[in-house]
Structure 1
Amino acid sequence: MAFLRREYKTTDLQAMSQAYRGNAELSSSGKYYTPLVCIVSSIAFGYYLYTSIIWGIIWGLVGLWYSYLVLYPQEVSSFYYRKGNSQRWNAVNNMYTSLSNVNNDAEDVIQVGIDSSEGEFQQDLQRLLAALSLRKPDKVNNAFKQIEDKYDEDIQFKQFMEQINIYFDMGVPDMKSFKRLNKNYNIVYEIQKKGRSSKNLQKVQFGFALIVVFVAVIGISKAMGGSNWVDTYSHVTSGIVTNSIAMTIAFLAAHHIFFKRYYKDSANVTNSRSFKK
């Protein structure tokens, strides 16, 4: 089963966490919220369903295990790729605007991209500019290929950099192509933003559903009476088995129906095979 193994190596997670270290979004505790909710809700459901601290701890450990294997790595990668995506979009728009200055050459345009970005992506552009300054065709082509390959899933960015490469070689920008690519990039970026907003709303709704179910469990136990709930359900074999099956199904359903879909979108996250340092 996919969630029985960790998709990202610890070194990959560290690299992603440090890629935009100075950025408040990635440096914040936001990546811990979802794992923390999973752990706390597991403890709460375990305790109230079984009316047992031991079972609360057991299911809390299951929640911790799932958070370690799935949620935390996916949250880190989600922050990383969202930030990288916004950095490229911002740089492309600024580079396109700089093309309106006829005195700017390809290197000036890339410098504008460097000045309007930060972290890992800024370093990638700096390495590209350094290669261009050597004026060696093989070094230049290899530098463009490296940055295009690294972000090959971002088709619009890759095509924009290909045009920058042509501009550097020819000395004259194809403004028609640049305009078309910039327009397409903005359209795609807006679609991605709306998609992410929709997914964030779904996460909130999922959390609300957890609260509703939890309140229902407490309501049922109170309606039966505390001692009656314990004597006839939570501490008897049939109740323990039923609760264990219900909790297992809940974890599987949450993984396959919600979290797997939430993290599947490439605008949110890219799989470990695509992580290139």
Structure 2
Amino acid sequence: MSDSLHDAASPALPGLAFDAPVLVDAFGLSDVGHRRPTNEDHFLIARIGRYFETQSTSLPDGDMPARADEAGYALVVADGMGGHAAGEFASRLAIRELVRMALSLPDWIVRLDERTLDIAAQRSEDRIVKAHEAILAESRREPELSGMGSTVTAVRNLGRMLQIAHVGDSRAYLLRQGRLTRLTRDHTYVQMLVDCGAMTLEQAARSRTRHVLVNAVGGVNEDVRVDVQHVPLEDGDRLLLCSDGLSDLVDDEAIRHAMTEATTSEEACRTLVALALDAGGRDNVTAVVATYRFATSSPGA
């Protein structure tokens, strides 16, 4: 009886199309440095996605893919402040809260289009605001943690689109065809002076107050401002997230050269951290490097 449903008279259906995945090679490294007793930096690399795998079906061959999956990588660098245990705890708590809230969502956005672009950006901002509130609440409960806070620089690739959410002075850089571009703006008092013309970039680089944050996750302000932007990916793009322990001691040209010459994300990451340590390692040093490649076909399609 069931065989008659699939006789020669059944109309042909077009196959289901799935875009080729973005292949991501990611590696992270964090070092306490040469002068700090503890490491207040933390990082996260996580693979997020959805998949479809046919186990059994009565549909004709070609109607369903054997397997299809869509996945992106979430990368986070958080640099804690507040001194010793407080800073280390703040950066841990910030990342943990971002993950907890992402896992609580009933649906995950894994690809951006006109319908989901604004939704994804708002979700990212909301998660960081909630992490901010969680850190403030914890600092109120524990007096020794008062004033603790953290930077957060988080990047996801949603299909062939990068989404960057940023608070503080950790940084995101993009290397594309040998050219290095900084994607984030420091949320510091010195950067505010530069923006209004009261200080030059050269003066800012030498200023002793260059790391005084005016915007952080937690800290002393009740509100937090989250910068969210989207950048279309190109095949071969390489991304760096880093704490200021790296960007303070390794200039843009050295970053560009290390990322260009490396054959893998791990090689680039280890080289960059080593450069910061060789330059003095005054602070904790954290780097996450990801390289994006476009596959030519979708597996299981």
> TM > 0.5 between the two?
no
Please indicate the TM-score interval, normalised by the length of the shorter structure: under 0.3
Calculate the TM-score normalised by the size of structure 1: 0.25
Which has more radius of gyration?
1
Bigger strand fraction: 2
Relative contact order (C-alpha < 8 Å, sep 6+): which is higher? 2
